[in-house]
Structure 1
Amino acid sequence: MDQARYEDTARRFAEQAAGAARLREGIAGLKGSARNGDGSVTVTVAPSGAVLGLQLSPAAMNRSHTQLTQEILGAIRAAQQQAAAAMEQLVRPYVGDEQYERFQTAFRAHAPAVEPIGPSAPPPPAALPTPHSPAPVRAARPVDDDGDFTDESIYKSRP
């Protein structure tokens, strides 16, 4: 390989490495965030869909548990869609259309998408873990026990 071709290859490699580093930094800082209609529920997610933050305003507490669950799940889905769109906008220009599909497949393999479950009836009490029983209460030592593991006390007078 001649010197000019080698330098050109090394320059392109350095440019690609710098681009990959910028891409990795961009992905690391990427988040999606969404609010419900009245702003009482705010969710922040990572590109993988993992929930990073959940904020509930006092107004969120005016809902039933079922309504609040739906609001939270809706905000999570919207934040995940926002994060996915931001990911595509960031990555697609670097890798191109064909490679973006491969990138998504690889990314999903490391962070599989799962649908959150909706509200359901609470589990029966028998299915819930039981709290630990309290520690056994130790019997108090007799007043004349000096703690030397014998029946005789050092406090008794000697003959």
Structure 2
Amino acid sequence: MPDRRAQLEEKIREFQEQAARAGQLKDKISELRGQARSGDGSVIVTVAPSGAVLGLQLSPNAMKYSHTQLQQEILATIRAATQQAAQMLQETVVPVLGDQAEKFKDAFNAHAGVMMPDAPPQQQFSAPQQQFSAPPPQQHVPPPPPRHMPPPVSRPAPGNRPRPRPVSDDDDFGGNSILR
């Protein structure tokens, strides 16, 4: 019987240690941030390990880009920050979980998206080369004629209605007064 008690106490101790490590791991993960800067430093992105964008900073230099170029620069910087956060997460989890780290990664990815996103194929978007000018002059179109509205329905004036008879409070005496 003492062996069973010792085994139980050992399992409880292991569980408590594991719970303490899990709490520490949770705290470390909540503090992890990935940050990346574009090549010219005009875009800075901060992300959580899940890939959620926590911060986006654009320098005045970012305004030199067209809208499509800026879009591509932001997305590339987000991908780089997400990859950095995923790497930091991996480095944090493996020492604590050991061989269980792969299961953790699978569970984390199931709830938070892929930890190491693949970069999409580079697409070259060409911004339409349009010259924006004043809108073409509009032709004057006369407004449509007003619709014919039927005349309003006449209703009797409030003073011309007959007043309803007052309801007697005294129904006990057949409408007659007790004072004759």
TM over 0.5, shorter chain: yes
2:92 is the counterpart of 1:110? no
How far off its partner does 1:64 sit? 1.1
Which residue does 1:23 correspond to in 2?
25
| 4+ aligned runs moved over 4 Å, structure 1 | 114-122
Which residue does 1:83 correspond to in 2?
85
Which residue does 1:32 correspond to in 2?
34
Which residue does 2:146 correspond to in 1?
none
Q: Distance in 1 between matches of 2:97 and 2:73?
A: 36
Give the match's secondary structure for 2:56. Answer: strand
- Report matched runs for 1:147-158 at 5 Å: none
Give the match's secondary structure for 2:36. Answer: strand
How far off its partner does 1:62 sit? 1.2
> Cα deviation per residue 1:48-84 (whole Å; 9 max; x = unaligned)?
1111110001111111112111111111011000000
Count of equivalent residues: 126
Which residue does 1:126 correspond to in 2?
none
5+ residue gaps, structure 2: 128-155, 158-180
- % identical aligned pairs: 54
Which residue does 1:72 correspond to in 2?
74
Computing the radius of gyration from Cα coordinates, the structure with the larger value is 2
Give the match's secondary structure for 1:55. Answer: strand
* AA in 1 matched with 2:104: F
TM-score, normalised relative to structure 1: 0.68
How far off its partner does 1:105 sit? 1.1
Q: CA RMSD in A?
A: 2.6
Give the match's secondary structure for 2:20. Answer: helix
